[in-house]
Amino acid sequence: MVIFVGDRNMLSLKSLKNIYELYKTMERENIMLSFKGIVTSELLTSVLQIMESKMEHIEQSPKVRKKVFNVLVECLQNLYHHIDPDDLKTGDFHESDAALFMIARNADSYEIKTGNYIPVHQVSGLRTKLELINSMSRDQLKEYYKEVLTGGEVSEKGTAGLGMIDIARKSGNKLDYEFLPIDSDDSFFCLNVKIA
Q: Is 175 inside a domain boundary?
A: yes
Q: Is 11 inside a domain boundary?
A: no
Q: Per-residue pLDDT tens for 69-110?
A: 999 999 999 998 877 766 666 667 778 888 999 999 998 999
Q: Is 26 inside a domain boundary?
A: no
Domain count, the chain: 1
Q: Is 25 inside a domain boundary?
A: no
Q: Is 10 inside a domain boundary?
A: no
What CATH number did the domain enclosing 96 receive? 3.30.565.10
pLDDT band at 6 (very low <50, low <70, confident <90, very high): very low
Contacts with 16 (C-beta within 8 Å, 6 or more apart), sequence order: none
Question: Looking at residues 23-51, what average pLDDT do you find?
Answer: 92
pLDDT band at 165 (very low <50, low <70, confident <90, very high): very high
Q: Is 91 inside a domain boundary?
A: yes
Note down the domain range covering 165.
Answer: 31-195
- For the whole model, what pTM was predicted? 0.84
Collect contacts of 128-136 with beta carbons under 8 A, ≥24 apart: 129/161, 129/164, 130/164, 130/175, 130/177, 133/164, 133/165, 133/168, 133/175, 134/168, 134/174, 134/175, 136/168
Q: Is the pLDDT of residue 175 over 50?
A: yes
Q: Of residues 114 and 156, which shows the higher confidence score?
A: 114
What confidence score (pLDDT) does residue 30 get? 93
Q: Per-residue pLDDT tens for 118-156?
A: 999 999 999 999 999 999 999 999 999 998 888 765 555
